[in-house]
């Protein structure tokens, strides 16, 4: 039993106790292609419990979260001061274990810890590796450089240790040529490793200090991460050479001198797709048209078009074009546009209005997607004339790209312009 | 005070800046002159010159003093800096060069020549629109103007929401920018908005 158990309240998972499943006579119908943000639920986050279930619940609470017994309190007393133990007890009594079972949920808020843990074990992936200092070495800590005899002795010792690890049952007598070759390689490796070991070049009279030389906990270099050895990890693990690489994507990355990981952080969405027909003397040729937007949600936005007889091909074309066309969008305080914008493409007119903080994106769905991909948070818009999807997207994109910035206006007019909001709030606007 | 002529001026300036003209002319009236001087003060225009049917000579094409005499002048000023100030109306540095614009006697032949400005291949003055119309004048109080300058709508006049937008108001103290009116707490008739 861990002394860190008081933390259970903070990291407890939702219980496996049967919750009344929310009956859904009318499943929510998606009216948009956009995935809806999970709105505030009308019902409470936990089911109401009947009296007969309460007995079950009490039982479950006692089993899952038992009271401290004397051995545990003794352990606690070793680790914590009396004041801390009092605080732990107060916190334990403040939280009813039944509440934890019924209402305990995994956190979904952005401030949750990036992993679930009760901190009882050191996880080599998420936690810092254990460190020892010179104070942990008992006895004298004096070293000197080993002479040749000592060095040879140490190398033999370390190499034989390493070989013993590789062949725990001893070297078998009858070996095939391949196994012999393997053994030779292993011996060579063990010798190299031993000669690189600090115990081979330094020596000390204190055996504990010699041990500390080989101990990775004393090393300034962090130990390697452990290899995950479960079946799932093995199946999903791929070498970079095994992966199929899209030649178009490769060329795009080369052109933009980007890393492949950068593509992961782009918000890419195909907003328009429809069939188009080319009438030739041979007959009609049907193909698919795609219009895709790409943005990094931090001031970059691109729109791309693609067309092909193969739908997947056309879509990929449009995605690559969108990424390649990404242009910077100037944003006022990183949330809205500089003043009102208006742009006309064909018969489509788009008017964009800047809005105060917290206003949100009160715009039609296409402009919403563009604003979200560009990282705009406060915006309203009107499309008073034609609402042709492609033209709305193009007009919005061009309006956002070609904003007149206050600096440029000031330079053009030879006047000094001051952002009053920034001055008033002393620059502490986001 | 006809707003019809002002409407023509507004569209003419928009067209001229779309055509990337460097110099253009408008008919002369007291209101036009004052409004154009206001535009120049706000930095929309580079020059406002009264002239005839032909454009005035640009500054760089006017006769300049030759560099040798300028050098002499600089040397003299360095030795005797008090010569920079004229004594009894006589400049000790020699005669000042003044380029005289030929303004016709006949007022009907006079034109107001405006220098337009461009920055980064974009006109500085892109849009110019009437607020009051010939058939519907709009008078605004300083409170109205304050709200409009803070991007809110007031008295059926939309706020100044475009970046760097200005509105000109004719008051009993002359033609002023809306923000100047708010500062001085005077109202007046809204003329036009520029951005």
Domain of A394: which CATH number? 3.30.230.10
User: What CA–CA distance (Å, rounded) separates B147 from B190?
Assistant: 14
Q: Is residue A259 part of a domain?
A: no
B118, B161, B163 ranked by CB distance to A409: nearest: B163
CA neighbor of A187 nearest in space, from A231, A155, A217: A155
Q: Are residues A11 and A107 in the same domain?
A: yes
Residues 100-119, chain B, touching A (beta carbon < 8 A): 117-119
In a domain? residue B69: no
Q: Are residues A187 and A75 in the same domain?
A: no
Same domain, A401 and A380: yes
Q: Does residue B11 sit within a domain?
A: no
Whether residues A12 and A102 share a domain: the answer is yes
Inter-axis angle of helices A148-166 and A177-196, nearest 10: 140
Q: CB distance B164–A354 less than 8 Å? A: no
A4 and A109 together in one domain:
yes
Residue A239 to residues A227, A242, A259, A265, B29: CA-CA distances in angstroms? 14, 5, 17, 22, 80
Q: Are residues A7 and A79 in the same domain?
A: yes
Q: What is the pLDDT of residue A21?
A: 44
Assess if residue B54 is contained within a domain. Answer: no
Residue span of the structural domain in which B141 resides? 131-195
Kindly state whether residues A61 and A148 are assigned to the same domain.
no
* Contact status of B164 with chain A (Cβ, < 8 Å): yes
pLDDT, tens digit, 9 for 90 and up, residues B145-163: 999 999 999 999 999 999 9
Q: Is the pLDDT of residue A24 over 60?
A: no
Residue B20, domain member (yes or no): no
CB contact B165 to A (< 8 Å): yes
Record: contact A408-B119, CB cut-off 8 A: yes
Higher-scoring residue by pLDDT: A80, A53: A80
- Per CB-CB distance under 8 Å, the chain A contacts of B43 are 412-415
Task: Please indicate, yes or no, if residue B183 is contained in any of the structural domains.
Answer: yes
Domain with residue B168: its CATH number is 3.30.1490.10
Indicate whether A177 pLDDT > 60: yes
Is residue B49 included in any domain, yes or no? no
Same domain for A116 and A186, yes or no, is no
pLDDT band at A45 (very low <50, low <70, confident <90, very high): low
**Structure tokens, A96:** 């009813």
pLDDT computed for residue A241 by the predictor:
64
Contact indicator for B121, B178 with CB cutoff of 8 Å: no
Identify whether residues A58 and A148 lie together within a single domain: no
Across chain A, what does the average pLDDT equal? 84
Question: Does residue B83 carry a pLDDT above 90?
Answer: no
Question: How far is residue A304's CA from residue A394's CA, in Å, rounded to a whole number?
Answer: 10
Contact (CB<8Å) A415/B162: no
Question: Structural domain of residue A103, as residue ranges?
Answer: 1-16+47-128
**ipTM of predicted complex:** 0.81
Distance of CA A384 to the CA centre of its chain: 41
Indicate the residue of A403, A406, A414 with minimum beta-carbon distance to B43. A414
Give domain status of residue A358, yes or no.
Answer: yes
Query: Considering its fold, how many domains does chain A have in total?
Result: 3
Q: Do A156 and A117 share a structural domain?
A: no
Contact assessment for residue A273 and residue A300, using Cβ atoms and an 8 Å cutoff: no
Residue B174 lies in a domain: yes
Which region among A48-62, A307-321, A334-348, B116-130 has the lowest average model confidence (pLDDT)? Answer: A48-62
Please give, rounded to a whole number of angstroms, the shortest distance from the CA of A266 to a CA of chain B. Answer: 30
Q: Do B117 and A412 touch (CB under 8 A)?
A: yes
**Mean per-residue pLDDT for A326-339?**
93
The pair of three-digit structure tokens given for residue A311, joined into one six-digit string? 């739908």
Residue A347, min C-alpha distance to chain B (Å):
21
Interface of A with B in 396-415 (CB under 8 A): 403-406, 408-415
Residue among A339, A410, A414 minimizing CB distance to B162? A339
How far apart, in Å, are the Cα atoms of A17 and each of A1, A11, A99, A130?
23, 17, 12, 38
Residues A5 and A79 grouped into a single domain: yes
* Domain assignment of residue A357, yes or no: yes
pLDDT of residue A391: 96
Residues A353 and A408 in one domain: yes
Confidence tier at A28 by pLDDT (50, 70, 90):
low
* Structural domain contains residue A67: yes
**Can you tell me the mean pLDDT for B84-108?**
78
Question: Could you report the per-residue pLDDT of A388-424, keeping only the tens digit for each?
Answer: 999 999 999 999 999 999 999 999 999 988 888 888 8
Number of domains in chain B: 1
Q: Tens of pLDDT along A236-255?
A: 776 666 667 788 888 888 88
Residue A124: inside a domain: yes
């Amino acid at each position: 039993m861990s002394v860190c158990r008081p933390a259970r309240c903070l990291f407890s998972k939702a219980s496996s106790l049967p919750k009344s499943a929310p009956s859904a006579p009318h499943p929510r119908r998606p009216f948009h292609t956009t995935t809806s943000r999970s709105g505030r639920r009308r019902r409470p986050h936990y089911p109401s419990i009947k009296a007969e279930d309460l007995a079950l619940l009490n039982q479950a609470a006692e089993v899952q979260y038992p009271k401290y017994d004397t051995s545990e309190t003794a352990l606690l007393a070793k680790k914590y001061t009396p004041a801390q133990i009092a605080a732990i007890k107060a916190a334990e009594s403040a939280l009813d274990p039944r509440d934890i079972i019924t209402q305990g949920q995994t956190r979904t808020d952005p401030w949750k810890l990036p992993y679930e843990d009760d901190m009882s074990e050191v996880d080599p992936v998420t936690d810092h590796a254990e460190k020892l200092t010179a104070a942990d070495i008992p006895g004298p800590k004096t070293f000197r450089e080993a002479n040749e005899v000592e060095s040879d002795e140490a190398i033999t010792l370390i190499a034989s240790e390493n070989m013993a690890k590789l062949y725990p049952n001893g070297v078998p007598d009858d070996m095939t040529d391949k196994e012999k070759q393997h053994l030779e390689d292993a011996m060579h490796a063990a010798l190299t490793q031993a000669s690189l070991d600090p115990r081979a070049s330094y020596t000390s009279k204190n055996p504990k200090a010699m041990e500390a030389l080989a101990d990775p906990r004393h090393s300034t270099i962090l130990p390697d991460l452990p290899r995950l050895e479960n079946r799932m990890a093995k199946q999903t693990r791929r070498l970079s050479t095994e992966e199929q690489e899209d030649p178009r994507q490769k060329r795009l990355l080369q052109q933009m001198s980007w890393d492949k990981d950068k593509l992961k952080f782009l918000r890419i969405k195909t907003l328009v797709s429809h069939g188009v027909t080319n009438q030739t003397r041979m007959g009609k040729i049907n193909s698919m048209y795609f219009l895709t937007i790409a943005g990094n949600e931090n001031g970059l936005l691109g729109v791309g078009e693609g067309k092909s007889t193969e739908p997947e091909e056309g879509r990929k074309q449009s995605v690559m074009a969108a990424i390649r066309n990404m242009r910077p969008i100037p944003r006022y305080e990183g949330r809205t546009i500089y003043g009102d914008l208006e742009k006309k493409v064909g018969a489509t007119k788009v008017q964009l209005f800047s809005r105060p903080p917290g206003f949100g994106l009160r715009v039609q769905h296409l402009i919403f997607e563009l604003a979200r991909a560009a990282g705009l948070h406060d915006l309203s818009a009107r499309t008073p004339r034609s609402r042709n999807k492609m033209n709305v997207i193009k007009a919005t994109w061009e309006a956002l790209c070609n904003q007149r910035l206050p600096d440029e206006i000031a330079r053009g007019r030879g006047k000094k312009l001051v952002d009053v909001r920034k001055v008033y709030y002393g620059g502490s606007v986001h | 005070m006809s707003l019809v002529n002002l409407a023509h001026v507004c569209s003419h300036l928009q067209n001229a800046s779309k055509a990337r003209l460097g110099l253009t002319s408008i008919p002369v009236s007291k209101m036009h002159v004052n409004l154009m001087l206001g535009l120049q003060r706000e930095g929309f225009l580079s020059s406002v010159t009264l002239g005839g049917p032909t454009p005035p000579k640009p500054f760089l094409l006017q006769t300049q003093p030759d560099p040798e005499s300028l050098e002499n002048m600089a040397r003299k000023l360095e030795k005797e800096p008090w010569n920079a100030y004229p004594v009894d109306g006589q400049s000790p540095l020699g005669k000042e060069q003044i380029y005289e614009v030929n303004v016709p006697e006949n007022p009907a032949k006079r034109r107001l020549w405006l220098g337009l400005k461009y920055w980064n291949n974009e006109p500085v003055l892109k849009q110019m629109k009437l607020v009051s119309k010939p058939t519907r004048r709009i008078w605004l109080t300083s409170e109205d103007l304050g709200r409009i300058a803070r991007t809110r709508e007031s008295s059926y006049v939309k706020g100044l929401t475009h970046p760097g937008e200005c509105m000109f108001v004719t008051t009993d103290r002359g033609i002023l920018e809306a923000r100047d009116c708010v500062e001085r707490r005077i109202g007046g008739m809204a003329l036009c908005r520029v951005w």
